[in-house]
Amino acid sequence: MSTDAFGRLMASADPAMIVVTTVAENEPAGCLVGFHAQSSISAEHYCLWLSKANHTYRTGLRATHFAVHFLTEADLAVAEWFGTRTGETTDKFNSDKFAGRGADGRVTDTDEHGLPLLRDCSNRMVAERIAMLDDGGDHACFTTRVLSAHTEGTFTPLRLSDVAHLDAGRSSESRSVHP
């Protein structure tokens, strides 16, 4: 198989970008995600593939809930913030440098599950983890049951091609297959 052909096919799909946030044992985490999809109509299920190299993945292993924030064309700064830093060295939720800070200095609200919800990203879902699949690749799939969804209406999603210039918080070589 040609990896160039596979890469071109995947690039042509140009998926919408999301930020996934979660929390476990009072430890919040969040990252930019390009691998995600609806996986059932009834019941409403959604799958998230998280890189095993990410802090969010390790937190997600212990988490029961996830927030899925759908980014719009206006959310490039959010994508950059969550996609170019690692949670091991950056507090992504309480930094003075994050462009999406609210008037009171906070970037997030917290829901009843303790999930950080990004204030500037109102197109979102809250979901409960129901399964996880690790097939040995560099990402693991978390299947979730959607508990709630909110949108401000029709929007143009931020796409992979819009963020392709960003340098990831971790190199692809650091993606551990077996964390």
Residue 15: predicted pLDDT? 94
Residue 174: predicted pLDDT? 57
Question: pTM of the entire structure?
Answer: 0.89
Sign of CA dihedral 91, 69, 55, 10: negative
Report the CATH number of the 10-174 domain. 2.30.110.10
Please list, residue by residue across 127-147, b when 16 or more beta carbons sit within 10 angstroms of its beta carbon and e when fewer do: bebeeeeeeeeebbbbbbebe
Residue 173: predicted pLDDT? 55
Residue 87: predicted pLDDT? 80
Question: What torsion, rounded to 10 degrees, do the Cα atoms 72, 76, 77, 81 define?
Answer: 100
Query: How far does Cα 121 stand from its chain's mean position?
Result: 12
Residue 171: predicted pLDDT? 58
Distance between CA atoms of residues 65 and 121, nearest Å: 18
pLDDT in tens, the chain (179 residues): 667 898 889 889 999 999 999 999 999 999 999 999 999 999 999 999 999 999 999 999 999 999 999 999 999 999 999 999 888 887 888 766 565 555 445 577 889 999 999 988 999 999 999 999 999 999 999 999 999 999 999 999 999 999 999 988 665 555 554 44
Residue 17: predicted pLDDT? 97
Residue ranges per domain, the chain? 10-174
